Amino acid sequence: MTRLERNERLIKIALFVIACSAVSILAVITIFIFSEGTPIMFKYGLRSFLLGLDWYPSEQSFGLLPMIIGSVMVTFGSLLVGVPFGLACAIFLTEFSSRRLRHILKPIIELLAGIPSVVYGFIGVVILVPFIRETLGGPGLSVLAASIILGIMILPTIISISIDSLQAVPRSYREGSIALGATKWQTTKMVILPAAKSGIIASIILGMGRAIGETMAVIMIAGNAINIPRSVLDPVRTLTSNIALEMGYASGEHRQALFATGVILFIIIMILNTIANATSVKGKAAK
Amino acid sequence: MSDRIIQTDNFSHYFGAIQTLKNINLEVRRNEILGIIGPAGSGKSTFLRALNRLNDLTYGSRIEGTIKIDGQDIYAPGTSIVELRRKLGMVFATPIPLPRSIYENVAFGAKMAGIKSKSELNELVTDCLVKTTLFEEVKDRLDSSATKLSGGQQQRLCIARILALKPEFILLDEPCSGLDPISTMKIEESLRQLKNEYTIILVTNNTKQAARVADRTAFFLNGELIEIGQTEKIFTTPADQRTNDYISGRFG
């Protein structure tokens, strides 16, 4: 074996160890959350956790249903705001804008992802919440406010992944349709969007994962009251907010119940990621 | 009505700083098959794509001179590009069926043009498939995906799809380059029949194909039109030495 080959082998081993450590960190976190969170779930019964309406940790009442509903409402609300907006942006930038405009706008949109979430929350508290309180009523801190801010926060994810999948549609599809006398919009609607479908779905699911996991901005603008909201103007608490708000002073079973909250969140996000991977892999296999 | 339905006048085309067509002057006559031959990069495809303004989609595309179709300057401001493209149906080198069913592929253009009646569409689809001799082969599976057809069938489907637009012209850009001799023969046969109703421009890398089906043939080289004339004359007594060299296989 020459020296070069020996070096090659060393580098390979070193990189392998580094790659393993990244994976093992994930494994450690997973094991930790589950070992801390699952015992209490089984002690009081899964049912009382998932379907219980009351969260009084000091009285051994750990109902997470309001928070689960809260997370679901805020997440879907953010999709209602972010998906039409983001998809329209992506379609405009790939199919209708000039190349120069796209080169200017795409990096700017991606910059949105770099704004810290506390800043989004701050803007929500200072501008959006008072606006909702004055025009629509209610406390302002609400499902609606959280949905709008989260909808904006998931835009970069949706836009950039949708743009990538729209651009991956073969040029020949576009030309074929255009040469048949279809307008750009007809081409987009009937040829490009169906062909890019799997990538667009993946972008929506990844945006959803981001929305469901977001904590800081949501704490600042969702109101955090533990009840099932009757309208979008009511305040709400999400799973993530629940952990972040109470972890500081929780101990004993209360602390374990917060880990149980984490377990539920973890499972929801895992399911979403698996769906996202499956749809994008399926899309690639189809091409 | 004049017989010269396409007339180009000192037409030049550029991609950025590169000139791809130089002062092209030629005319296309009603119900003829005009063959365009020339080596790769000679500008023959660019010329074809200039006729339905498909080059417009490419960044940096620019023209000089005019192309008139039925007396109308197609690059004049206010021209409806969508109508122009419906009038000049285009078939590409690689058959590109849209990722939809056979039926949908043929009906696509007609639907774009606003035809909604189911019976009218059915009739149109059948008619177009019959004209391209595809109907017998696919009549039992019109709803299956068009991407499952063989290469030759896909190419005939693409021609059928064009016919559904009721165009005046059919532009073919090396339609048989990826096909076996039997499929090629079938396509050439349908072109000879389609000539009665349409005016056809056939860009081909295969000089023998031009000799077989074209009424007149044009020879392009490095963006210039070297020679155009009756096919027999081009292939037997060409006026230009370069044409002679090309068709006898000395280059290209």
> What pLDDT digit, counting tens, does each position of A183-218 carry?
899 899 988 998 899 899 999 999 999 999 999 999
Q: Residue B99 is nearest to which of A179, A182, A195, comparing CB atoms?
A: A195
Q: Search chain A and give the residue with CA nearest B83.
A: A181
**Weakest-pLDDT range from A51-60, A81-90, A277-286, B34-43:** A277-286
Q: Search chain A and give the residue with CA nearest B166.
A: A180
Q: Is A2 touching B (CB cutoff 8 A)?
A: no
At A62, list the tokens.
Answer: 């750990």
Angle at CA of residue B113, ends B109 and B118, nearest 5° = 80
Q: Is B85 touching A (CB cutoff 8 A)?
A: yes
Q: What is the mean pLDDT of residues B38-55?
A: 92
How far does B244 lie from chain A, in Å, by closest CA? 34
How far does A58 lie from chain B, in Å, by closest CA? 60
Q: Is A168 touching B (CB cutoff 8 A)?
A: no
Listing DSSP states for A28-97 in one string gives HHHHHHHHHHHHHHHHH-HHHHHH---EEGGGTEE--HHHHHHHHHHHHHHHHHHHHHHHHHHHIIIIIS
Hey, are the CB atoms on B92 and A175 less than 8 Å from each other? Answer: yes
Q: What is the dihedral of CA B206, B207, B213, B215, to 10 degrees?
A: 140
Q: pLDDT at position B1, please?
A: 46
Q: Where are the alpha helices (DSSP H) in B16-150?
A: 44-51, 81-87, 102-112, 118-131, 135-138
C-alpha closest to that of A75 among A170, A165, A166, A205: A205
Hey, are the CB atoms on A176 and B92 less than 8 Å from each other? Answer: yes
At B38, list the tokens.
Answer: 């020339």
Q: Is B63 touching A (CB cutoff 8 A)?
A: no
Q: Residue B85 is nearest to which of A181, A190, A194, comparing CB atoms?
A: A181
Q: What is the mean pLDDT of residues B84-88?
A: 91
Listing DSSP states for B236-250 in one string gives HS-SSHHHHHHHTTS
Q: Where are the domains of chain B?
A: 4-247
Higher pLDDT, A276 or A19: A19
What does the pLDDT look like over A135-174, one tens digit per residue? 998 899 999 999 999 999 999 999 999 999 999 998 888 8
The pTM assigned to this predicted structure is 0.80
Q: pLDDT at position A278, please?
A: 84
Q: Residue B85 is nearest to which of A170, A179, A191, comparing CB atoms?
A: A179
If pLDDT is split at 50, 70 and 90, which confidence band does B200 have?
very high
Hey, are the CB atoms on B89 and A173 less than 8 Å from each other? Answer: no
Hey, are the CB atoms on A180 and B83 less than 8 Å from each other? Answer: no
How much of chain A exceeds pLDDT 70, in percent?
97
Q: Residue B82 is nearest to which of A173, A183, A191, comparing CB atoms?
A: A183
**Weakest-pLDDT range from A77-86, A89-98, A176-185:** A176-185
Hey, are the CB atoms on B85 and A172 less than 8 Å from each other? Answer: no
Hey, are the CB atoms on A182 and B90 less than 8 Å from each other? Answer: no
Hey, are the CB atoms on B98 and A99 less than 8 Å from each other? Answer: no
Q: pLDDT at position A181, please?
A: 83
C-alpha closest to that of A180 among B167, B96, B162: B162
Asked whether residue A74 carries a pLDDT value surpassing 50, the answer given is: yes
Q: Search chain A and give the residue with CA nearest B159.
A: A180
At A173, list the tokens.
Answer: 């599809």
Q: Is A173 touching B (CB cutoff 8 A)?
A: yes
Tally of CA atoms within 13 A in the half-sphere of A66 that contains its CB: 21
Highest-confidence range of A79-93, A175-189, A273-287, B112-126, by mean pLDDT? A79-93
If pLDDT is split at 50, 70 and 90, which confidence band does A283 have?
low
Find chain B residues with C-beta within 8 A of A179's C-beta.
52, 54, 85, 89-90, 92
Q: Search chain A and give the residue with CA nearest B167.
A: A180
Q: Are A41 and A49 in contact (CB under 8 A)?
A: yes
Q: Residue A175 is nearest to which of B57, B82, B108, comparing CB atoms?
A: B57
Asked whether residue A115 carries a pLDDT value surpassing 90, the answer given is: yes
Q: Can you tell me whether residue B194 is helix, strand or coil?
A: helix
Q: Is A194 touching B (CB cutoff 8 A)?
A: yes
Hey, are the CB atoms on B96 and A178 less than 8 Å from each other? Answer: no
Asked whether residue A17 carries a pLDDT value surpassing 70, the answer given is: yes
CB atoms within 10 A of CB A248: 6
Hey, are the CB atoms on A179 and B98 less than 8 Å from each other? Answer: no
Q: Per CATH, the architecture of B4-247 is what?
A: 3-Layer(aba) Sandwich (3.40)
Q: pLDDT at position B209, please?
A: 93
Contacts of B233 (CB under 8 A, 6+ apart): none
Residue among A95, A100, A171, A180 with most chain B CBs within 10 A, to mutate: A180
* Cα gap B168→B208, rounded to integer Å: 26
Q: pLDDT at position A287, please?
A: 44
